[in-house]
Structure 1
Amino acid sequence: MATGIVSIAAADHGFEHVSIGLAVLAAGALPVLTLAVAVTWGRLDLADPDVTIRLFTFVAACAVLDNRFLANTAAVWLLGVTAAAAWAVLTAVTARNLIRRSWRELRGRARGAWELCSVGTSGLAIVLVALSRQVDWLWWGAVTMWLVALALYAAMTGLILVRAFAARLDPRGFEPDAWILMGGLAIATLAGDQLYRAGFSGVRGATVVTWIFASLWIVPLTYFGLRHMQRIEARRFAGVWWAMVFPLGMYAAATHAIAGDTGWPAVSTVSLVFFWIAFAAWTIVAVAGLRWLWRVRRGPLPSGHGLR
């Protein structure tokens, strides 16, 4: 998902070789990661909302790759149908899991990753816009999914903020997946832009608003992120770091779309800057992950040791 959106951002700014390389990596990684999840499926607690919400990553990943390979009709339909089927199943299971929990429990467990249900739904809206070019009535499905994504974002953000204030802004409570608070609005902006380009002019103002709020998230997230990184253990590699790369890449892509709609040259510059930030973050996380895998293959890490 993160690799795919950075590839799209690279293409937006004319870095074709970088974009193609990342697209190949993303296309190759999706089936591998899907197989890895399938192998461990029996060990997943599908009654836990935290587990099923995080699985919306698969929907978003299919949507991002779908958007990257729009020129390939077969890929668009394959990834689109797969994303829609996964979204339907995960939505039903997650709704069941949430209903069975009390408000207090949900408030206490909400994390930035819980925005993934909104991210996946916005991603599905983008997919449906692409498919509506061949099947007209899917256009209404895209509008519906975009509105549902915004509603889910509002609900999850409310839970997350209540928990954050309850924690009294403790830096130990910050995790990189908090960046999805910004990424959820960025992908909603991109979905709204796709609807606008497809002829639904009524969403133009809303997309500018979601982009502005996504931009506003950057300041507090950067502040708490820097506080969090002052702790030694926070600088050790963890898979959750990828949850920071995706929002940065998505913000670059969404900002590029806003620049195209508004004609504001400064916004295009912001998009370019965030592409390089996202690409740098992708490189750092990828290298750190490879180093971690290398050390694991060489033998178990000593107790208390982590990759910095």
Structure 2
Amino acid sequence: MDPDRVIAAVPAGAGAAAMATGVVSVGLHLAGIEWFSILWLGIGTGIWLALLGVFAFRLTDDRTRWIADADTPAALTAVAATTVLGTRFALLGWQPVAIAALAAAFVLWVVLNPFVISHWTTPTVGTHFLLCVATQGLAVLGATLAADLHARWLTGAALVVFVGGLGCYAAVVARFSFAQFRAGAGDQWVCAGALAISALAAGKLIVATDASGWDGWPHTAVRVLAVALVAADLSLYAVLAACEVRWPRLWFDFRRWATAFPLGMSAVATTTVATALDLPWLRAVGLALIWPAAVLCTILLVASVRYLTDASAATAR
């Protein structure tokens, strides 16, 4: 394959591949299958590093393409992928790496959001929910580190970002075209993925507020929101799965990575909230949900390699 042609074929939302593989790694860790989790972490990190190279190449050698990509909500997959992988490294006990990931994700969030918001379109589609996903990714990683480091200020900051993320979800869903449930190419699932990562942020904040000694209304509110968000996510998951059966879309599209991410994030969020609230039956649901995500990621890895190979060959002709 010609590297230049492969780089040209990589879409703006390719970061969803790192998001999906990273969250599958987290889910498998929660399931106690560490060797398989590490394998997916290696895959996700490799994808993230490859996309970092694509990002750097376009920034220096193809500024027009870089700006065009940055104008789209799909660009925010870079933020979300960094926070998901950072969270997994935090679970390994690699706090310095997780802190660096949080700092990098925050810088990307600050840089990319003005581009995305200034080119906002309506009605919104699935990729627009990445505004919420990227924001809640910061809350998840921030809350994870706050609990590990017993940093009260970081708990407060993560709580503020979490509330902001909920506001982002409300703004996007108010203008969402629900026709995407029938016609979407895969990214329609992000409307559930955004709820799932919001639920995960709430679950992490339960632990962080406990570690910080917050026993008042913020702690109670986060617990209630965690339950409500998990319930809403699982309900929407079921609706979207039913739509896939009713209107099957079996061809490959890179936006299918935006289907794999919500599948994995729903599993991780459900498991995390269940553990935080000591609900064994709900934890069993979350652990079961990780397997559809792992299977889909495996299929998409193979399909993505074939897609990039074919795209490179087509460009050569």
With the length of structure 2 as denominator, give the TM-score of the two structures. 0.82
**What is residue 125 of structure 2 aligned with on the other side?**
111
- Helix, strand or coil at the partner of 2:175: helix
Structure-2 residue corresponding to 1:72: 94
Partner AA of 1:154 in structure 2: A
For residues 114 and 152 of structure 1, what CA distance do their matches in structure 2 show? 10
Residue number in structure 2 paired with 1:7: 25
Q: Percent identity?
A: 29
List aligned pairs for 1:200-279, cutoff 5 A.
Answer: 200=214, 201-202=219-220, 203-229=222-248, 234-279=249-294
- Corresponding residue number in structure 1 for 2:64: 43
Alpha-carbon separation, structure 1, partners of 2:278 and 2:82: 30
Give 1:193's match in structure 2, choosing from 203, 215, 233: 203
Residues 181 and 243 in structure 2, CA contact (< 8 A), matched pair in contact too: no
Structure 1 moving runs of 4+ over 6 Å: none
Q: Structure 1 residues 21 and 263 mapped into 2: Cα distance closer, same or farther (>3 Å)?
A: same
Q: List gaps (5 residues or longer) in structure 2.
A: 1-18
State whether residues 126 and 194 of structure 1, in contact with CA within 8 Å, keep that contact through their aligned partners in structure 2: yes
Structure 1 residue 186: Cα displacement = 0.6
CA 1:135/1:241 → structure 2, altered by over 3 Å: closer, same or farther? same
Letter in 2 for 1:18: F
CA apart distance, 1:135: 4.6
2:11 aligns with: none
Aligned partner (choices 81, 89, 92) of residue 61 of structure 1: 81
Residues 122/289 of structure 1: CA separation in 2 closer, same or farther (3 Å cut): same
Query: 1:285 and 2:300 equivalent?
Result: yes
CA deviation profile, 1:21-70 (whole Å, cap 9, x unmatched): 01111112212112213323423374788x44211111111111111011
Distance 2:266 2:144 in 1: 20
RMSD between superposed Cα atoms in Å: 2.3
Is the contact made by 1:3 and 1:26 (CA closer than 8 Å) also made in structure 2?
yes
84-93 or 53-62, which moves further after superposition? 84-93
**1:27 has 2:45 as partner:** yes
Judge conservation of contact 1:176–1:225 (CA < 8 Å) in 2: no
CA distance in 1, matches of 2:118, 2:253: 30
1:88 aligns with 2:106: no
> Alignment partner of 2:314: what SS?
coil
1 CA distance for matches of 2:206 and 2:229? 14
Matched, 1:300 2:314: yes
Matched position secondary structure for 1:69: helix
Structure 2 distance, partners of 1:218, 1:96, is 30
Letter of the 1:149 partner, please give it: G
CA-CA distance at 1:170 after TM superposition:
8.0
Give the corresponding residue for 1:156: 172
| CA displacement, residues 220-240 of structure 1 (integer Å, 9 cap, x when unaligned) | 2112222332xxxx4222211
Unaligned runs of 5+ in 1: 99-105, 302-308
- Distance of 1:43 and 1:194 partners within structure 2: 39
1:187 counterpart letter in structure 2: I
Match of 1:141 in 2: 157
Render the CA deviation track for 1:142-166: whole Å, top value 9, x for unaligned: 1110000001011111111xx33xx
> 1:170, 1:2 → 2: CA distance?
20
Q: C-alpha displacement at 1:75, in angstroms?
A: 0.5
Tell me which of the two structures has the higher relative contact order, counting C-alpha pairs closer than 8 angstroms and 6 or more residues apart: 2
Q: How many residues align?
A: 282
